[in-house]
Amino acid sequence: MAERRFVVEGPQAVREALDSLLELYALDLTDPLAQLAAARGVEVVQVDAKVLEALAETVTPQGLVGVAPLLSAVLPDRPQLVAVLHEVNDPGNAGTVIRTADAAGADGVVLTAGSVDPHNGKCVRASAGSLWHLPVVTDADALDTIAALQAQGVRVLAATGAGEADLDELDGLAAATAWVLGTEAHGLPAEVLAAADVRVRIPIHGRAESLNLATAAAVCLYSSARAQRRASSRESAAES
């Protein structure tokens, strides 16, 4: 990190980061990804298994370890769908939410101050390459982020088990929306909940006490994405 670069490990992450890689270390230079990287001007170095194990963070590396510059991002103007993670320090959860946000077609993910660094190896792997597909803003102030989104006409929804609104009955999901989610252990602090436009609970129909963060994020983001796409389809049909 001191050199403003981080490790990208495994074929999937390497494939998605290919245009950003500075170097690639490979067991086999005939590996298609190694050849593709070399063709794009990446310095590809053949190493043995012991060297690759020393470079990698996993117990059994998958034959490729890349080095990429640290990512820097800002949200686009007037985003339609955003995930805001407040003080989420579990790298697996954060990476999975980034992947889910990407799959749902979100415009970006914001990690507030106190959250895990998305360059963390486990977070990179959990994102499954999505770290290179959408803006991931880091070290943001939660209240400033909420205010900035609201100023752009984005409705801010805080996911909380004690929310006054039930997700199944919530109107307006087709509007530009930011979902704010906190940790499973502590949830969202009072000042963040107060700053949101609506506090929303995900209904639990069975006997489970709650959903984990990544699952809750998937439910919330896809609820908005589905509503937005349906609204867009209706608008397109009306215009044709």
**pLDDT of 129-172, one tens digit each?**
999 999 999 999 999 999 999 999 999 999 999 999 999 999 99
Q: What predicted TM-score, i.e. pTM, was given to this entire model?
A: 0.91
Per-domain residue ranges for the chain?
5-69, 81-239
Q: Radius of gyration (Cα) for the chain, nearest Å? A: 20
Task: Over range 97-126, report the average pLDDT.
Answer: 96
CATH topology of domain 81-239: Alpha/beta knot (3.40.1280)
Give alpha helix (H) positions in 128-185: 142-151
Question: Which pairs from 36-45 meet CB under 8 Å and 24+ separation?
Answer: 37/66, 42/18, 42/66
How crowded is the C-beta side of 131, counted as CA atoms within 13 Å? 36
Q: What is the dotted CATH code of the domain comprising 5-69?
A: 3.30.1330.30
At residue 235, the pLDDT reads 77
Q: Which residue in this structure is represented by tokens 């990190």?
A: 1
**pLDDT of 44-66, one tens digit each?**
999 999 999 998 888 778 899 99
